[in-house]
Chain A
């Protein structure tokens, strides 16, 4: 058992780092916990290791900005626990309030905390299509992590299929590193633009962000990379690894090309497994086509003392994550008696104005890159649950027997090691479609601990001092 820290912050990305530093500055003892070996989260992954390198230069100035945040964290006096995975969170009233169970270096540990801030960020949206389980199909996020952590790039000209800012940024970075792109299959529906335009005036408040995006598009155009617009369907095929790729632009005939590596991406969604497991209230976000935990103005969930900041609170990007982290830190400090309510409100006011500016382009971007309907309605033979290899057809046939949790029992979808992280939303959408309902109504799998696999051997290492009655 570790020493009581007032606050446990889970996740060392922009939100978690900003919150931890702010809390320390307010005199609150903090433990910052992250699965990775170093600070940065996914957006600033390995930012310290890439300082003054060719890879760091190609990743761009927004990435390099993470080094200052990491340096501030290192000097903050927070207890830093890297390489630690959260597998269970418990409410331990009346004493310390929260028990944070982590897995690290072959053993388990428990950290007591008065308040917990979840800053675990987002994951890429599940994106099922025929052949997406083949070796040779990798997510764009994964490819970017390989670039950041190992300077690793595709061996030969790579196909990229997807939608949203991340593929454009990745392609810009890949071209800067001398990588080759076979073609970009843009899957955002052409019709999205009309729905996005009414949100453009507000988005212009963040014109610097929009200019960045236009810059990526321009780099792509100048590079001569073939771009296919409005791709409705993709399929990967091969014997034990990707050998060919078929794509069909909306209203056109399918085209098949040889391919050995395909990168895919259909946007990101908040990571909700921890808040779901804790039974927090969630709301359906139709603008981002996902669930997000219901939060008050300080980021507190429906469970007192449990907070969320960053993209886990709804997708907003790195700057919004940093600001939400700071706002949550003020709310927590107020709750712990380090700030009066008036002080917290006053300190938060400029942060809230900045957050409003940081979120200005969201409605425009969310509408422009709203996923195509095919993402939520895979073909019959498409594997939906990667772990248990359950197809869309099997899920449709089991629909009508109950909600997502009954369907789990009937088909085993969501029962493998990923615990529904890769199939949860697809199952909800398939059920909604079959039952003439909505994903918001159908809901999500129940999520149960352990949130990561733990062995009996590891459990045996757990030491908890129980208070004697």
Chain B
């Protein structure tokens, strides 16, 4: 969907999204990584189980919610990437244990 054709000065790191290791830059927003990683969505909705991708990137749409390091419903557009971050695309409602 999106690509990153320019070299970044930021340190190369990797994050794990649904078990797959994905390359990223230290400090970039997690939502940006989700928008260039198939299948290009962040969560499935609690109402109709339809997939949603980051839409606004400025913290006002809440469609980029995912489970990050065990915490559910995290706004990934406001979450800087850290090396080794574990991300799960969120399915439906947030769970109490997450």
Chain A interface (Cβ < 8 Å from any Cβ of B): 35-37, 42, 49, 53-55, 83, 85, 123-124, 133, 135-139, 141-142, 145-146, 149-155, 177-178, 240-241, 260-261, 271, 386-389, 416-418, 421-422, 452-453, 455
Residue of B27, B32, B52, B65 touching A146 (CB-CB under 8 A): B32
Enumerate 25 A-B pairs (CB-CB under 8 Å) in ascending A order. A55-B6, A85-B78, A123-B58, A133-B63, A135-B1, A135-B40, A136-B40, A138-B35, A138-B53, A139-B55, A149-B28, A149-B32, A150-B29, A150-B32, A153-B5, A155-B2, A178-B5, A240-B39, A240-B50, A260-B1, A261-B1, A386-B55, A389-B45, A416-B62, A417-B62
Residues of A within 8 A of B40 (CB): 135-136, 241
Set B29, B50, B54: member contacting A138, Cβ < 8 A: B54
**A413 to nearest B CB, angstroms?**
12
Residues in B42-61 with C-beta less than 8 Å from chain A: 45, 47-48, 50-61
Known: A138-B55, A142-B58, A261-B2. 9 other contacts (CB 8 A): A35-B78, A123-B56, A133-B50, A133-B63, A138-B53, A155-B1, A155-B3, A241-B39, A417-B62
Taking the closest CB of chain B, its distance from the CB of A244, in whole angstroms, is 15
Q: Which residues of B contact A (CB under 8 A)?
A: 1-6, 8-10, 25, 27-29, 32, 35-36, 39-41, 45, 47-48, 50-63, 65, 71, 73, 75, 78, 80
Which residues of the other chain, A, contact B60 by a CB distance below 8 angstroms?
Answer: 123-124, 271, 418, 421-422
Contact present for A153 and B3 (CB under 8 Å)? yes
Flag if A151 contacts B2 (CB, 8 Å): no
In the bound complex, CA of A145 to CA of B35 (Å): 12
| Residue of B1, B5, B39, B45 with highest tally of chain A CB at under 10 A | B1
Q: Which residue of B lies closest to A390 (CB)?
A: B47
Interchain CA distance A36-B80 in the complex, whole Å: 9
CB closest chain-A residue, reference B81: A150
Known A151-B4, A152-B3, A416-B62: A146·B55 in contact at CB below 8 Å: no
Q: Which of the residues B6, B10, B56, B80 comes within 8 Å of A124, measured between beta carbons?
A: B56
Given A149-B28, A152-B36, A422-B60, are A455 and B2 also a contact pair (CB < 8 Å)? Answer: no
Q: Say whether A152 contacts B56, CB under 8 Å.
A: no
CB-based contact B62/A152 at 8 Å = no
